[in-house]
Amino acid sequence: MESIWEKDAPKTGFQALNGNKKTEVLIVGGGLAGVLCAYKLKNAGVDCMLVEAAEIGNGITKHTTAKITLQHGVVYDPLICRYGKNMAKLYLEAQIKAGETYGELCRTIPCHYEKRDSYVYSLQSRKKIEREITALNSLGVNAEYSDAPELPFSVAGAALVKEQAQFHPLKFLYAIGNGLPIYEHTKVLELMPGKVRTNRGVIRYEKLIVATHFPILNKHGFYPLKLYQHRSYVIALKGAREAKGMYVDESDTGLSFRSFGDLLLLGGGGHRTGKKGGCWQELEAFAKKHYKNAVIVGKWATQDCMSLDGIPYIGQYAISTPNVFVATGFNKWGMTNAMVSADLLCDLVQGRSTPYAPVFDPSRTVLHPQLALNALESLAGLLTPTVPRCPHLGCALKYNPTEHSWDCPCHGSRFSEQGQLIDNPATADKHNMPAT
């Protein structure tokens, strides 16, 4: 289940921590968001270091479809309706700035960076697409209506924004990570005020950035209620018609398309972690119907943290933790939001004000319908009498026969059949797993 990105990206190895250390800013988590934070902070002259339990890019980053776009589904019309035009404009500006930064960096990084048009389509609601186009236009984006004729099926409509981009995420990550103060195979065992205990020593810090995909500090911020995790699947097809644009369904359970070289990357089959969904079988059936002569040459899965209102949580971890910061809840759009996180957190840890902080503030209101759904899922998981239980907060794990794993429907932790930890927020393996 290796992604295509892993096959042709030579790794940049980093040593493990050896003994105790001290730093001004400690970053926990070596995905794209964490490494970009280290890159920005080091270039700003800030003393920092990053620790990663395995190897950088080993989690969600290597499983992305790597689209760099300001379009994140149908998002701007709901943002204007919920928070007003000014807030939506700031969210948009942050995404545009992130895209421009990628463009600048990729001029000197060989990572298959390509400009591509971006489409958000709907199978059922032309009106929803038209409202999104109107919202984008009102915010200064030249969005157009399209019938998305490249797709192998008819759509109700699509919102087209030109001159977005795609790239090879691991080649980019390894290039910017080269030379940074990164320690791999250094697992954080305990987070404490002013210091962390790892399997390789104690690190004292003045400020801490938690960039572990799902936040691992449970005592603050209510993240187990503010987030849930969503799995989606990708197959790489050889011999399928090239997609010159990047496409995504506005529905959480829809399909996405992009090309990489002579491969078509087809994504979808999504579902809440721990629940049933279409998985690879849905994608394989679609490919068999619409790309009859294509051959599947790769397949993988990914997992995304979903926030209550569709906006990431980037900023101060909680009101009670002034020196701890977080980047999470990217809602399937980790490329631009990783860069937004690096820009925003680089300012915040240096005490600089930024107009984008209120948009992504992790302490903003939690009064959204998704909060009740998350709470109900957690309660159901806690009350389910079966074993095994997740070591994170004690929910009952569900067996995933498609991926041969044990998954937590409450918060998204995943374990192998033997009990090895695959995905957080759990931080330890699960012992005494039942036979499958």
Mean pLDDT, all residues of the chain = 95
Same domain, 281 and 324: no
116 in a structural domain: no
Same domain, 35 and 182: yes
Q: Quote the pLDDT of residue 289.
A: 96
Domain stops at, among 268, 284, 306: 306
Backbone angles phi, psi at 44, to 5 degrees: -85, 0
355 in a structural domain: yes
Q: Quote the pLDDT of residue 30.
A: 97
Q: Quote the pLDDT of residue 8.
A: 85
Distance in angstroms (rounded) separating the CA atoms of residues 55 and 61: 11
Q: Quote the pLDDT of residue 209.
A: 98
Same domain, 239 and 385: no
**Domain of 294?**
228-244+253-306
Q: Quote the pLDDT of residue 123.
A: 96
Distance in angstroms (rounded) separating the CA atoms of residues 23 and 350: 14
Distance in angstroms (rounded) separating the CA atoms of residues 410 and 273: 8
131 in a structural domain: no
Distance in angstroms (rounded) separating the CA atoms of residues 271 and 80: 27
160 in a structural domain: no
**Degrees to nearest 5, angle at CA 390 with 387 and 392:** 155
Same domain, 317 and 183: yes
Residue pointed to by tokens 């979903």: 306
Distance in angstroms (rounded) separating the CA atoms of residues 30 and 144: 37
Q: Quote the pLDDT of residue 310.
A: 95
Q: 266-321 pLDDT, tens per residue?
A: 999 999 999 989 999 999 999 999 999 999 999 999 999 999 999 999 999 999 99
DSSP 224-261: HHH-EEEEEEEEEEESSPP-SSEEEESSTTS-EEEEET
Q: Quote the pLDDT of residue 357.
A: 97
Residues of the chain with pLDDT under 70: 1
Same domain, 189 and 293: no
Closest CA to 159 of 115, 127, 195, 183: 127
The alpha carbon of 35 is separated from its chain's Cα centroid by a whole number of angstroms, namely 14
Same domain, 176 and 301: no
Domain stops at, among 262, 286, 306: 306
Same domain, 198 and 216: yes
CATH number at residue 381: 2.102.10.10
Closest CA to 167 of 336, 344, 343, 30: 336
Same domain, 217 and 313: yes
Residue pointed to by tokens 């003994």: 19
Q: 47-94 pLDDT, tens per residue?
A: 999 999 999 999 999 999 999 999 999 999 999 999 999 999 999 999
With a CB cutoff of 8 Å and minimum separation 6, the contacts of 391 are 413, 426, 428, 430
Distance in angstroms (rounded) separating the CA atoms of residues 91 and 309: 13
Q: Quote the pLDDT of residue 431.
A: 81
Same domain, 319 and 278: no
Structural Rg of the chain based on CA atoms: 21
417 in a structural domain: yes
107 in a structural domain: no
Same domain, 257 and 374: no
323 in a structural domain: yes
Q: 380-400 pLDDT, tens per residue?
A: 898 999 889 999 999 999 999
CATH number at residue 49: 3.50.50.60
Q: Quote the pLDDT of residue 245.
A: 97
Q: In terms of DSSP H, where are the helices of 110-265? A: 126-138, 169-177, 223-226
Count of domains observed in the chain: 3
Q: Quote the pLDDT of residue 9.
A: 81
Q: Quote the pLDDT of residue 433.
A: 81
CATH number at residue 296: 3.30.70
266 in a structural domain: yes
